[in-house]
């Protein structure tokens, strides 16, 4: 199998991805710490596809990149594709404040992985529905301490502390689709760039 690099500046994402791919599929992925420029788009998929092309151009090796977002119903899908920026600026406290008087706390996490090797590109997407908690809990990173996935009473942060986040994770669901394809289960046909 060719070398594979996850290109991102987010080491926490890499640790989740590396651990899952290696343990479940025997796929080894290396971390390439690069800050990729993101295009302005309403589509996470479009952002991820462009990031994959940039990542391949930077290192000239097969890459996977990921873009994801937290979409809150009451806020019209905000922060969505701006999740990283919103987390850095107002954080979990800001999200909790925005929903302080809201009864509608429904939300979803969406993840998109894109593989690119300079000739082929393939996209893998999934999501998990849930809700925003009323308080910030311990554990995890990013929005993990405020997102409660459907089927659980615990936040991603609490699930992370119990090593159970992967049982619900949007990232793992999308990553499983990628890994099955990459490992040779040609369930997904790659397309030319």
What are the chain's domains? 5-185 (3.90.950.10)
d(CA 100, CA 124): 34
Among residues 42, 67, 73, 144, which one is catalytic? 67
Inter-CA distances, 191 with 43, 123, 157, Å: 19, 10, 36
d(CA 188, CA 124): 9
Q: Would you say 155 and 137 are in contact if contact means Cβ atoms under 8 Å apart? A: yes
**Which residue in 183, 61, 176 sits closest to 128, CA to CA?**
176
pLDDT in single tens digits along all 193 residues of the chain: 567 999 999 898 899 899 999 999 989 999 999 988 888 898 999 999 999 999 999 999 999 999 999 999 999 999 999 999 999 999 999 999 999 999 999 999 999 999 999 888 999 999 999 999 999 999 999 999 999 999 999 999 999 999 999 999 999 999 999 999 998 844 444 444 4
Enclosing H/E stretch for 50: helix 44-59
67 has catalytic annotation: yes
pTM: 0.87
Q: Would you say 182 and 29 are in contact if contact means Cβ atoms under 8 Å apart? A: no
Strand partners, 111: 68, 126
């Amino acid at each position: 199998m060719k070398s594979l690099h996850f290109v991102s500046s987010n080491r926490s994402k890499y640790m989740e991805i590396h651990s899952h791919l290696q343990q479940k599929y025997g796929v080894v992925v290396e971390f390439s710490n690069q800050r990729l420029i993101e295009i302005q788009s309403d589509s996470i998929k479009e952002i991820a596809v462009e990031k994959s092309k940039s990542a391949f151009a930077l290192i000239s090796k097969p890459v996977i990149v990921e873009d994801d977002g937290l979409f809150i119903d009451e806020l019209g899908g905000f922060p969505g594709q701006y999740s990283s920026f919103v987390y850095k600026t107002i954080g979990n406290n800001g999200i909790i404040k925005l929903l302080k008087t809201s009864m509608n706390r429904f939300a979803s996490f969406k993840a998109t992985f894109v593989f690119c090797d300079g000739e082929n590109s393939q996209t893998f997407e999934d999501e998990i529905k849930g809700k925003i908690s009323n308080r910030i809990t311990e554990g995890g990173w990013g929005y993990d301490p405020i997102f409660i996935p459907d089927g659980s009473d615990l936040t991603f942060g609490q699930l992370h502390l119990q090593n159970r986040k992967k049982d619900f994770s949007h990232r793992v669901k999308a990553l499983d689709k990628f890994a099955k394809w990459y490992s040779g289960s040609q369930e997904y046909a790659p397309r030319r760039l």
